[in-house]
Amino acid sequence: MCVTVPSDNSVIKVQGLEKTFPGDVKAVDSVSFEVREGEVFGFLGPNGAGKTTTISILNTLMLPTGGRAEVLGSDVVTQASKVRKGIGLVPQDLTSDEELTGRENIELQSKLYHIPSVEAAKRADELLALVGLTDSQDRIVKTYSGGMKKRLEFATGLVHQPKILFLDEPTLGLDIQTRTSIWEHIRKLRSETNMTIFLTTHYLEEADGLCDRIAIIDHGKIIALDTPDGLKKAVGGDVIEVEVAECNTDILELVRSIKGVTLLEGKCSGNKARMKVPESNAALPLILESFWNKKIAVLNVAVKKPSLDQAFLEYTGRELRDEDKGTGGKQATAAAKKGRFGRRR
Amino acid sequence: MFSETFALVVRDLKRWYRTPGQIILVFTTPLMWLLLFGQAFNIGKLAQGAPGIDIREVFGGATDYFSFMAVGQTTFIILFGSLFSGVSLIWDRKTGFLSKLQVAPISRASIPVSRMLSTVVKSLLQAVVVLVLASLFVFIPGLSGLRFSPDFGILEALGISAFLILLGLSLAALFVALGLIVKNEETLFGMINLLNFPLMFTSSALIPIALMPSWLKTVAGYNPITFVVDGMRQLVFHTSVGAQYSIGVDLLGITIFAALMISLGAVLSRKALLRT
């Protein structure tokens, strides 16, 4: 997804942003970053990391307690009304009016953005088609499924053709189908318009698959900011897991002694030897060969290329889904492949 | 300012008339009140017992209690509608709809103002239903209806609308602001209950001032609802017999009350909608 190089023109500039809530709770702690025009920028972090607070400040819903933020060249504190004209928000919650029809919700939104009614009707048609709600546009939203409501929310946020679209946890709690369709919409916007998209998520694959750049945020601080590939590279190395009858330090010593294999890290977990090497393609045959020579029976082999969840683990010392357990870095990585890392709200 | 306010008023009204049973409630609630207070709770009989009293002196110009209370009834409709005007804002905050409005480039004032206007439209419609229903009571055998003066015309109709609109705006201004400040319905319902009955029963809406103990007479004399019903009765029955104040004083009283409440509501709403 990071094929296209976004222009250098920054549409969001954040300098030392801080938000301290009463009771000395620091939700955002001197955060600085820039978002370039036309890119998809992701805030990745567990619940309570400060993602929604940052979005609320950028959306002029909340005042920062320190630092400054500029959106489309306007200060979010002093020039809020200028900021509001250029941004669109698809909030975490379903905020459509349940008593109105889908179409009426979009048209109401048009009126809030002072779009003339002829133009509003045209855009409503287009957006309803885009999110596949044309057939149910005249039904009361109350009768919609969760996925339909979310798609309507998405359409509503686009009605005034914002320069920056903020998506707060766009696929939280959605079924796979709806999630995939939301992702498609985001990709479509990315490729067909010059809209900048700022999204928050605690789904690794969402950040990985959609974003040009990702900021990993934890405890209100940005701890890493790079392209998905850059973040993965920084983790350094592939992990080879070899299942044997009994893993012990001798086996790890054996691997360490192999010529041409640099063992960055090695440990036994159960009867698996977990070995981190800079590059697995060349190392794996050599390792297996030496095991063969020493008559060590290999029961199973797995290679883990660097993934964003590993990167997250590396930077924060814990996995995304361990957010409640503090620094629970020892949790098994097996479950991390399932695609859903966060806790449901 | 105007286009978004209008759009939000339309939204509120759509929500209102689409709620199942709402239209039935518009008719049944006043009907119940009219039957309960106007017919069962008939003070007229008590007053009639005393010889030498011009009944119109007691009943603010009306010749019977039912006509007297039917006019008072409209202020209740306004009172209840306005007291509950803020409740939906608490819901809008909970669902996130309010945030969506706050992110939009709209005048902040359009949020409380639209809610006040939709409340007034709704309760004014209901008040008209009360007056029409009350006058139709005459067709029910054994019951008497609301007897309008034969001189009642368009000007009088506009006059009573003005009284009801001013009362509605004043109370809605306050309760919409409270709906924006208070974050949960329980607190707001508590406040509503606190004001509800005192405002109702210390006014001359249901009970003639002449029949009140003297301390209550004093309180009722300053109740904004008293100004409204007093003025309305003079318009409906086309007489100043039994009036508490002159119609000009009534109008002035409710206008001052409205000015105070709207200013207070504006200050509170503004504060509630400020970013923190």
For residue A109, being part of any structural domain is answered with yes
pLDDT at A75 over 80: yes
Query: Rounded to 5, what percent of chain A is helix, strand, coil?
Result: 40, 25, 35
Q: Does position A313 have pLDDT exceeding 50, yes or no?
A: yes
A108 lies in the same domain as A199: yes
Q: What is the structure's pLDDT at A67? A: 92
Amino acid A318: pLDDT: 64
**Average of per-residue pLDDT across B75-100:** 91
Average pLDDT in the A75-86 region? 93
pLDDT surpassing 80 at residue A297: yes
Query: Is B99 within 8 Å of A91 when comparing Cβ atoms?
Result: yes
Residue whose C-alpha is closest to residue B165's, from B216, B228, B111, B215: B228
Query: What DSSP letter does each residue of A96-141 carry, written as one string?
Result: S-TTSBHHHHHHHHHHHTT--HHHHHHHHHHHHHHTT-GGGTTSBG
Least confident of A79-83, A290-294, A328-332: A328-332
Q: What's the pLDDT at A192?
A: 86
pLDDT averaged over chain A?
84
By the 8 A CB rule, do A274 and A197 touch?
A: no
Considering only residues B154 and B33, tell me which one the structure prediction assigns the higher pLDDT: B154
> Which phi and psi (to 5°) does residue B261 adopt?
-65, -40
Same domain, A151 and A36: yes
In terms of domains, do A220 and A134 share one?
Answer: yes
Over residues A189-206, mean pLDDT: 87
Q: Which of A212, A232, A252 is the last residue of a domain?
A: A232
Is the same domain home to A142 and A259? no
- Closest residue to B105, CB basis, from A81, A92, A94: A81
Q: Which residue has the tokens 């992990």?
A: A239
| A50 within domain boundaries | yes
CA distance A41 to chain B (A): 20
Q: Flag if B102 and A60 touch (Cβ within 8 Å).
A: yes
Tokens coding B157: 């109709």
Could you tell me if A40 and A130 lie in one domain?
yes
Average pLDDT over residues B254-273: 95
Statement: residue A241 has pLDDT above 60: yes
Same domain, residue pair A49 and A74: yes
Question: Both A82 and A227 in a single domain?
Answer: yes
Nearest CA to B89 among B12, B161, B153, B26? B12
Range of the domain at A190: 10-232
CATH number at residue A273: 3.30.70.260
Please judge whether A112 and B106 are an interchain contact, meaning their C-beta atoms are less than 8 angstroms apart: yes
**What is the rounded CA–CA span in Å between residue A100 and residue B170?**
29
Tell me: do A248 and A114 sit in the same domain.
no
Q: Which helix (H) or strand (E) holds A16?
A: strand A10-21
Report the percentage of chain B scoring pLDDT > 70. 94
pLDDT in tens, B16-26: 888 878 888 88
CATH number at residue A166: 3.40.50.300
Q: Do A265 and A179 lie in a common domain?
A: no
Q: Which residues 134-193 of A have a C-beta within 8 angstroms of B?
A: 140
Q: Which residues of B touch A (CB under 8 A)?
A: 3-4, 6-8, 11, 14-15, 18-19, 95-97, 99-106, 275-276
Write down the pLDDT at residue B22: 80
Minimum Cα–Cα distance from B10: chain A residue: A108
User: Is the CB of residue A114 less than 8 Å away from at least one CB of chain B?
Assistant: yes
Separation between Cα atoms, residue A109 and residue B103, nearest integer Å? 11
Is A333 part of a structural domain of the chain?
no
Closest residue on chain B to A61 (Cα): B275
Residue A231 has pLDDT above 90, yes or no: no
Residue A126 pLDDT > 80 = yes
Using the beta-carbon criterion (under 8 Å), do B95 and A60 form an inter-chain contact? no
Q: Do A209 and A65 belong to one domain?
A: yes
Cβ distance A112 to B4 less than 8 Å, yes or no, reads yes
**Average pLDDT over chain B, rounded to whole?**
87
Cα gap B204→B76, rounded to integer Å: 11
Which of B9, B18, B95, B100 best probes binding to A when mutated, by most A CB atoms within 10 angstroms?
B100
Evaluate whether residue A205 is within a structural domain.
Answer: yes
The whole-number average pLDDT for the span B156-167 is 94
What value of ipTM does the predicted structure carry? Answer: 0.85
pLDDT recorded at residue B43: 65
Do residues A138 and A161 both lie within one domain? yes
- Residue B44: what pLDDT? 61
CB spacing of A61 vs B101 below 8 angstroms: no
Angle between helices B224-236 and B247-273 (to 10 degrees): 140
Which residues of chain A from 16 to 75 reach within 8 Å of chain B, CB to CB? 59-63
A39-59: average pLDDT: 90
Check if the beta carbon of residue A299 is closer than 8 Å to that of residue A321: no
Sheet with A74-75: list strands edge to edge: A25-36, A10-21, A66-71, A74-75
When mean pLDDT is compared across A129-138, A152-161, A229-238, A242-251, the lowest value belongs to A229-238
Task: Please count the other Cβ atoms lying within 10 Å of the Cβ belonging to residue A301.
Answer: 14
**pLDDT classification of B52: cutoffs 50, 70, 90:** low
**Which is more confidently placed, A86 or A231?**
A86
Q: Is the pLDDT score of A322 beyond 60? A: no
At A138, give phi and psi (nearest 5°): -100, 10
Query: Do the Cβ atoms of A112 and B95 come within 8 Å?
Result: no
Q: Is residue A104 predicted with pLDDT exceeding 90? A: yes
Instruction: Kindly give the pairing relationship between strand A74-75 and strand A87-90.
Output: unpaired
Residue B183 has pLDDT above 70, yes or no: yes
Q: pLDDT grade, residue A80 (50/70/90)?
A: very high
Task: Count the domains in chain A.
Answer: 2
Comparison of pLDDT for B37 and B160, the residue scoring more: B160
Q: Pick the last residue of a domain from A232, A251, A284.
A: A232
Which segment of A102-106, A275-279, A336-340, B124-128 scores lowest on mean pLDDT? A336-340
In a domain, A320, yes or no: no
Last residue of a domain, one of A213, A232, A251: A232
Q: In sequence order, what are the residues at sequence separation of 6 or more whose Cβ sits closer than 8 angstroms to the Cβ of residue B213?
A: none
Tens of pLDDT, residue by residue over A12-32, are 999 999 999 988 888 999 999
Specify the higher pLDDT residue, B231 or B27.
B231
Alpha-carbon distance of B146 to B124, in angstroms, equals 18
Per-residue pLDDT tens over the stretch A3-12: 444 456 899 9
